[in-house]
Amino acid sequence: MTEVLIVGAGPTGLTLACDLRRRGIGVRVAERGPALFPGSRGKGIQPRTLEVLDDLGLADAALAAGGPYPPMLVRRPGQPPAEHDLVERAAPGAGTPYPQPLMLPQWRTQLLLHERLRALGGEVEFETALTGLEQDAAGVTARLSTGRTVRAAYVVACDGGRSTVRGALGIAMHGETVDPEPFVVADVRIAGLERTHWHVWSDEEHGMLALCPLAGTDAFQLVARPATLEGAEGTEGGDDSVRQALGALLAARTDLEAGRLEEVLYSSQFRVNAAMAERFREGRVFLAGDAAHIHSPAGGQGLNTGVQDAYNLGWKLGLVLRGQAAEGLLDSYEAERAPLAAGVLGLSTRLHGGAARRGPETHQLELGYPDSPLTRRPAGPAPGGAAPGDRAPDAHLPDHAPGRVFELLRGPHATLLAVGGATPPADLPSYVRTHAIPPADAYAAGGLYLIRPDGYVALATGEAEEVRAYLAGLSRDGGCQPRVDAA
């Protein structure tokens, strides 16, 4: 039996596959397409996602392959060009090594994840679609377009907004049309256009066209609204009629001649919707990424939220499948991810309408699980600093090897930080690593900080027995406690 069948090899599916493989979990990844998605559509990697890539051993490769967002140069009829920054610039801090978004075309993000998956012993089965599934108390039977049948302990749908798995489960999506006007998105090569700026032509009468230089490539991402191009959906270059149509659009909306458009590498068109599945789980089948929630591309939230879904689910499946936690732990996936996805959906919609700025709230560093059934407050005084439910920040550790908290957290394990001489409990489960560190930054007070494998503080306490009881709860019943709202 396959332990986990992942349907879809986008960023969400590949992140989950990498996370499970590094835990020694048997994974199959079925992708209906003949290859990885070739376009740049989700080009913004948020700081929190960079931390996930760091944990997977990919941060340096991502930073080398991508680059910062350039400033925008906006041209409007009758006005001089105006320059402004779409993102807020910030320098790395003690707790935040990656303070601003990275521009990395989606196709390259997926390529990096795919290479990492292969290094971990995993593969993607291309041209393999799911055609049906049934589940029982012991597992899921999935039928594939290749004629094969797969028996898996769990299935995770990462197959996009038109999810076949979600449809087979009969799970409805609820949402709204954010923008009725059609968009065209294409990866193109433009002759002689400066790559120092994100070029935008905006005309209230005729619409908007933007050309963003894609970091690490010689291409631009073209976005035009409103625009409809017959035959443009999913076109991977080589279609001269699409190139001619985009060239005409370029000439009509900008001060560039149609002939400046030398090549169309990929094109697609869509209408912007915001929607969320009415539930993220049906028995042994989970929904993640666009299969669970569909966002406006404004603000670069969709891809990143999907990666966070995978990062949340991976460690839980790993502990359950290895018998280190009870199956009840899996109940926390929807309890944690659904409220965050709903909040991010609202943010994306506000960004699309211009009612929010692409600042710290888009970086996903401030998202956490304070109300999670897995989050515990200590019975006695809290040590302060990093709080239960918060993302565990990085910190410099003077005279300590290694010299940063993130280096202690990196890997598939949970981490117990014993700060300032605090005494940890003995005989902890094998998936927990204990490190004695000096007081530093967000861990300045003495105490015990239990940090989940996905980098969130589960418990901060001064009592070793509370740590032992928390971990025993994971083994006994999954550790989920009912949420108790304040009166």
Is residue 11 over pLDDT 50? yes
Residues 439, 293 share a domain: no
Is residue 276 over pLDDT 60? yes
Q: What is the pLDDT of residues 127-163, one digit of tens each?
A: 999 999 999 999 999 999 999 999 999 999 999 999 9
- Dihedral sign (CA 395, 396, 402, 407): positive
**For residue 235, what are the β-bridge partners?**
267
Query: Taking residues 57-82, what's their average pLDDT?
Result: 96
Do 420 and 441 touch, CB atoms closer than 8 A? Answer: no
The whole-angstrom separation of Cα 143 and Cα 156 is 14
Residues 160, 137 share a domain: yes
Let me know if residue 8 belongs to a domain.
yes
Q: Please list, residue by residue across 81-108, b when 16 or more beta carbons sit within 10 angstroms of its beta carbon and e when fewer do.
A: eeeeebbeeeeeeebbbbbbbbbbbbbb
Let me know if residue 224 belongs to a domain.
yes
The pLDDT of residue 237: 59
| DSSP classification of residue 335 | H
> How many C-beta atoms surround the C-beta of residue 221 within 10 A?
23
The pLDDT of residue 146: 97
Do 15 and 120 touch, CB atoms closer than 8 A? Answer: no
Residues 480, 337 share a domain: no
The whole-angstrom separation of Cα 109 and Cα 31 is 16
The whole-angstrom separation of Cα 352 and Cα 335 is 27
Residue with tokens 């204990």: 434
Let me know if residue 199 belongs to a domain.
yes
Q: What is the pLDDT of residues 243-270, one digit of tens each?
A: 999 999 999 999 999 999 999 999 999 8
Let me know if residue 83 belongs to a domain.
no
The pLDDT of residue 95: 95
Q: What is the pLDDT of residues 447-472, one digit of tens each?
A: 999 999 999 999 999 999 999 999 99
Residues 33, 55 share a domain: yes
Let me know if residue 322 belongs to a domain.
yes
CATH number at residue 482: 3.40.30.120
Query: Taking residues 19-42, what's their average pLDDT?
Result: 97
Residues 233, 196 share a domain: yes
* Rounded percentage of the chain residues whose pLDDT exceeds 70: 95
- Confidence band (pLDDT; 50, 70, 90) for 486? very low
Is residue 434 over pLDDT 80? yes
Q: Last residue of some domain: 219, 249, 273?
A: 273
Let me know if residue 158 belongs to a domain.
yes
Let me know if residue 341 belongs to a domain.
yes
The pLDDT of residue 231: 54
The pLDDT of residue 487: 32
CATH number at residue 235: 3.30.70.2450
Residues 314, 262 share a domain: no
The whole-angstrom separation of Cα 435 and Cα 406 is 12
Q: What is the pLDDT of residues 373-429, one digit of tens each?
A: 999 999 888 888 899 999 999 999 988 888 999 999 999 999 999 999 999 999 999
Across all residues in the chain, what is the average pLDDT?
Answer: 93
What is the number of structural domains in the chain?
Answer: 3
Q: Last residue of some domain: 362, 378, 407?
A: 362
Residues 203, 108 share a domain: no
Let me know if residue 220 belongs to a domain.
yes
Residues 148, 55 share a domain: yes
Q: What is the pLDDT of residues 292-309, one digit of tens each?
A: 999 877 767 889 999 999
Residues 187, 284 share a domain: no
- Confidence band (pLDDT; 50, 70, 90) for 233? low
Residue with tokens 């290094």: 119
- Confidence band (pLDDT; 50, 70, 90) for 235? low
Range name among 119-128, 397-406, 429-438 with the lowest pLDDT average: 397-406
CATH number at residue 298: 3.50.50.60
Is residue 356 over pLDDT 70? no
Residues 385, 332 share a domain: no
Residues 384, 405 share a domain: yes
Q: Last residue of some domain: 362, 383, 408?
A: 362
Range of the domain at 103: 2-69+98-175+275-362
Paired tokens of 389: 């439910």
Residues 398, 294 share a domain: no
